A and B are shown apart, each in its own frame.
Chain A
Amino acid sequence: MLKKIRVILAALCFVAVTLLFLDFSGTLHHWLGWLAKIQFLPAVLALNLVVIIALLVLTILFGRIYCSVICPLGVFQDGVANLSRKGKKGKYSYSKEIKWLRYGVWVLFVVAFIAGINALVALLAPYSSWGRIVQNLLAPVWQWCNNLLAAIAERRDSYAFYTKDVWLKSLPTFIVALVSLIVVVILAWRNGRTYCNTICPVGTTLSFFSRFAMFRPVIDASKCKSCHVCEKKCKASCIDIDGGKKIDYSRCVDCFNCLDNCKFGALKYRFAWGRKSESPEAAPADKTRRAFLIGSAITLGGAAIPARAQTDEDAPVEIQGEGGFADIIPKVAPKRSMEITPFGSESVEAFYKHCTACQLCVSVCPNDVLRPSKNFSHLMQPEMSFERGYCRPECVKCSEVCPTGAILKITPEEKTQWKVGTASIQTMLCLVENGEVEECGNCSRHCPVGAIHMVRKDREDGKRVMVPSVEEELCIGCGACENLCPARPISAITVNGYQIHHKA
Chain B
Amino acid sequence: MNKNIDRREFLKKTGEGAAIAGAVAMAGACAPKKTVETVVANTVTNDGKDPLETGKMELRTNPGNGDQVSLLGYGCMRFTMKKDSNGKDIVDQDNVNNLIDYALAHGVNYFDTAPVYLQGQSEKAVGIALKRHPRNSYYIATKMSNQSSNDRKVAMHLYNNSFKNLQTDYLDYYLLHSLGRGGALGFKGRFEDNGVLDFLLEEREKGKIRQLGLSFHGDQKSFDEIIALHDKYHWDFVQIQMNYFDWKHADGVRNVNAEYLYEELDKRELPIVIMEPLQGGRLSRPAENVVNRLKERDPQASLASWAFRFVGSYPRVLTALSGMVYMEHLQDNLRTFMDFKPLTEDEKTFLDTEIADIMANYPTIDCNDCKYCMPCPYGIDIPGIFMHYNNNVNKGNFPRNKEQEEYQKLRRAYLVSYDRAIPTLRQASHCVGCRQCIPKCPQSIQIPRQLRRIDDYVEKLKQNTLTSE
Q: Which residues of A contact B (CB under 8 A)?
A: 25, 27, 152-156, 158-163, 320-328, 388-389, 392-394, 431, 437-442, 445-446, 484, 486
Q: Which residues of B413-442 have CB atoms within 8 Å of chain A's CB atoms?
A: 413, 416-417, 419-420, 423-426, 429-435
Compute the total of residue contacts between A and B using a CB distance below 8 Å.
Answer: 100
**Neighbour of A163 across the interface among B24, B28, B420, CB < 8 A:** B420
Pairwise interchain contact B417-A159, C-beta atoms closer than 8 A: yes
Q: What are 23 A-B interface contacts by the 8 Å CB criterion?
A: A152-B25, A156-B17, A159-B6, A159-B412, A160-B3, A160-B6, A162-B416, A320-B423, A320-B426, A323-B89, A323-B119, A325-B381, A325-B426, A326-B378, A326-B379, A392-B463, A437-B434, A438-B435, A440-B432, A442-B432, A442-B433, A446-B459, A486-B430
- Tell me which of B163-171, B202-210, B276-284, B368-376 binds A: B368-376
**Neighbour of A153 across the interface among B10, B376, B423, B424, CB < 8 A:** B10
A324 to chain B: closest residue by CB:
B374
Q: Is B14 an interface residue, CB under 8 A from the partner?
A: yes
What's the least CB distance linking A142 to chain B, in Å? 14
Q: Which residues of B contact A486 (CB under 8 A)?
A: 378, 430, 432
Pairwise interchain contact B6-A322, C-beta atoms closer than 8 A: no
Pairwise interchain contact B462-A442, C-beta atoms closer than 8 A: no
Q: Is B48 an interface residue, CB under 8 A from the partner?
A: no
| Residues 111-127 of chain B, each 1 if its beta carbon lies under 8 Å from chain A, else 0 | 00000000100000000
Say whether, besides A155-B24, A486-B378, A321 and B87 are in contact (CB < 8 Å): yes
Q: Which residues of A contact B376 (CB under 8 A)?
A: 325-326
> Roughly how many angstroms separate A389 CA and B419 CA in the complex, as a whole number?
13
Q: Is B377 an interface residue, CB under 8 A from the partner?
A: yes
Interface size range on B against A: 35 or more
A443 to chain B: closest residue by CB:
B432
> Roughly how many angstroms separate A441 CA and B448 CA in the complex, as a whole number?
12
Pairwise interchain contact B88-A439, C-beta atoms closer than 8 A: no
Q: Which residues of B contact A445 (CB under 8 A)?
A: 452
Pairwise interchain contact A325-B433, C-beta atoms closer than 8 A: no
Identify whether the interface residues of A are mostly helix, strand, loop, or mixed.
loop
**Neighbour of A484 across the interface among B13, B374, B379, B429, CB < 8 A:** B429
Q: Which residues of B contact A (CB under 8 A)?
A: 3-4, 6-7, 9-11, 13-14, 17, 24-25, 28, 81, 87-89, 119, 371, 374-379, 381, 412-413, 416-417, 419-420, 423-426, 429-435, 452, 459, 462-464
**Neighbour of A161 across the interface among B7, B426, B459, CB < 8 A:** B7
Pairwise interchain contact A324-B13, C-beta atoms closer than 8 A: no
User: 10 shortest A-B CB distances, which residue pairs?
Assistant: A323-B89, A160-B10, A328-B379, A440-B432, A155-B28, A326-B375, A159-B416, A437-B434, A160-B6, A162-B416
Say whether, besides A152-B25, A442-B430, A446-B429, A325 and B375 are in contact (CB < 8 Å): yes
Q: Which residues of A contact B413 (CB under 8 A)?
A: 159
Pairwise interchain contact A440-B434, C-beta atoms closer than 8 A: yes
> Roughly how many angstroms separate A389 CA and B424 CA in the complex, as a whole number?
9
Q: Which residues of A contact B434 (CB under 8 A)?
A: 437-440
Pairwise interchain contact A154-B420, C-beta atoms closer than 8 A: yes
What's the least CB distance linking B376 to chain A, in Å? 6
A155-B25, A394-B463 given; 7 more Cβ-contact pairs under 8 Å: A156-B13, A324-B89, A324-B375, A325-B374, A327-B379, A438-B434, A442-B433
Q: Which residues of A contact B459 (CB under 8 A)?
A: 446
Pairwise interchain contact A162-B10, C-beta atoms closer than 8 A: no
Pairwise interchain contact A437-B81, C-beta atoms closer than 8 A: no
Q: Which residues of B contact A446 (CB under 8 A)?
A: 429, 459
> Roughly how many angstroms separate A449 CA and B417 CA in the complex, as a whole number?
28
Pairwise interchain contact A431-B88, C-beta atoms closer than 8 A: no
Say whether, besides A27-B3, A328-B426, A442-B433, A323 and B379 are in contact (CB < 8 Å): no
**Neighbour of A440 across the interface among B412, B426, B433, CB < 8 A:** B433
B14 to chain A: closest residue by CB:
A152
> Roughly how many angstroms separate A392 CA and B458 CA in the complex, as a whole number?
13
What's the least CB distance linking A436 to chain B, in Å? 8
What's the least CB distance linking A472 to chain B, in Å? 24
Q: Which residues of B contact A389 (CB under 8 A)?
A: 424
Say whether, besides A27-B4, A160-B9, A394-B462, A328 and B425 are in contact (CB < 8 Å): yes
A432 to chain B: closest residue by CB:
B432
Q: Which residues of B contact A393 (CB under 8 A)?
A: 463
Residue picked from A163, A323, A394, A437, most chain B C-beta under 10 Å: A323
Q: Which residues of B contact A153 (CB under 8 A)?
A: 10
**Neighbour of A162 across the interface among B4, B371, B378, B420, CB < 8 A:** B420
Q: Which residues of B contact A321 (CB under 8 A)?
A: 87
> Roughly how many angstroms separate A155 CA and B33 CA in the complex, as a whole number?
9
